[in-house]
Amino acid sequence: MGDSVDLAKFHDLISDEATTMGRLGDTDTLGQRRAKALGVIADRQASADLLGLIPDTENGEGSGEGDGAGSEGEGDSAGAGSRQAAGHEGAGKKITPRKSYLKTRL
């Protein structure tokens, strides 16, 4: 039962994103917009994952933990440093931030 609920929520998320794209002027078919929506959702998750790795240099802590508040837009700064993450392979390795660009067509 739990799997079907997760699938229904995932389907609704993709459909909502595709509908929003259509309302913003995307003239592709619904199926094409759904395919694009998968990419948009994946990009958001990848960005959220990367934001969690960037230390918060404003308050001098640098743990990188929390909701990422205050670290948005700092992805191209040189002070990324390293971070210990329990249970993650490659923990403690220095991370080189890279610029990310949102590609969209209205």
User: Which residues face 82 on adjacent strands?
Assistant: 94
Give the pLDDT band of residue 35 (cuts 50, 70, 90): very high
* Cα–Cα distance for residue pair 56/36, rounded to 1 Å: 32
Between 103 and 33, where is the model more confident? 33
**CB distance 83 to 55 below 8 Å:** yes
> Tokens representing 68?
């990422």
pLDDT tens across 47-88, in order?
A: 777 777 767 666 655 444 444 444 444 444 444 444 444 445
- Give the position of tokens 């699938």: 7
The pLDDT score that the predictor gives to residue 27 is: 92
The pLDDT score that the predictor gives to residue 43 is: 86
